[in-house]
Amino acid sequence: MTVNNKRVFYVKYLAHEIYVDIMKARADVRLDRLENESPDAVAAPILSAAHAYQVGAARDEIARHFHVDQDLLRRAPNLLIVSSNGAGFDPVDVDACTAAGVLVVNQSGGNANSVAEHALGMMLTLSKRILESDRALRRQANVNRNTLIGNEVQGKTVGIVGIGNVGRRVAELCNGLLHMKVIAYDPYLSAEEIAARGGEKVELHDLMRRSDFVSISCPLTKDNRRMIGAREFALMQPHAFFITTARGFIHDEEALYEALRDKRIAGAGLDVWDKEPPPPEHPLLQFDNVLASPHTAGVTKEARVNMGKIAAEQILEALDGKRPPRIVNPEVWPDYARRFERTFGFAPK
């Protein structure tokens, strides 16, 4: 295999066309596009030759046979690196990649400001009852504004679950702009690290109990699936709001429905779902105090450009033999380095 024959492919879409522009500027890189419906006769040779796969981060937008699992890894024996379009990596079996010596990276941080602004917008909209007011005005005459009294967020407590790139920006906005108290649950960070990011470290049950707003901003992993369930919702205060811009399956949708139905919490802002997009008849969409969006928190013009640029540059760094940032499975590096050297004839740095 020649050194200057680097094969990259993607399925259906990219974060932004800037990715294509950056790749096309490199004569040593071939970029292939597949569709969800691409027949095996077209897809098989591309998978077989591929060194890198730029995969969509939304699990329901990529056909199941293009999710990165043991089957796809068998069909792509030369694959060295999988790069997710976003901070999440739902369509990627990280353990299977690690076992196969495949590096997994994401674009964590590329859309952090967009997602944090979305979470903040949901927080303000729910607290000020803007959504309920809008719906009331559209449905009835002579609306009594005294039935729609909201609350200020200043001085309230926001509990952030996962204070990484997005959570840190949420904390910054809530601290500096709104003068709120920030508490955070993140088992991977020390109290000192969380304090440096603007929060007080607490355990999850304390966060659920103390927060006026619970904001979820952690990635979905095998360890936190259904982490927020009936027990956690039962700890929340009746006036508190639940907001998630993270990933579906971190919270239990049925348990949230029951908490809202029984008025055990004040409302919810939901950008992520078990099934995306959710159908119009979804039970959670029937509440006037549920603010919903179809996983668009990170979908802004600015974020899309940033994500596309980061993704392309990160893939090229890896294919040039450099250690890329944002590695999801760093423990795979020795196996990956050996496979890279066999492929390209030199060891990555």
In the chain, the amino acid numbered 47 is: L
> What is d(CA 5, CA 27) in angstroms, rounded to the nearest whole number?
9
Torsion of CA 225, 157, 288, 115, to 10 degrees: -60
Nearest CA among 205, 166, 191, 199 for reference residue 303: 166
Active-site option among 16, 197, 210, 247: 247
Q: Hey, is 104 helix, strand or coil?
A: strand
Active-site option among 193, 276, 313, 317: 276
Residues ≥6 apart with Cβ < 8 Å to 111? 86, 87, 297, 298, 300, 303, 306, 307
Q: Does the annotation mark 247 as catalytic?
A: yes
Report helix angle 165-176 to 112-127, nearest 10: 50
Q: Are 52 and 83 in contact (CB under 8 A)?
A: yes
Active-site option among 7, 51, 118, 295: 295
* Residue pointed to by tokens 């966060």: 207
Give the ranges where 50-164 is alpha helix by DSSP (H): 70-75, 94-100, 112-127, 130-139
Q: Which two tokens stand for residue 53?
A: 């796969």
Nearest CA among 315, 250, 76 for reference residue 68: 76
Residue 179's region, left for phi above 0, alpha for psi from -120 to 50, else beta, is left
Q: Are 296 and 245 in contact (CB under 8 A)?
A: no
DSSP 66: G
Distance of CA 296 to the CA centre of its chain: 10
Active site members: 247, 276, 295
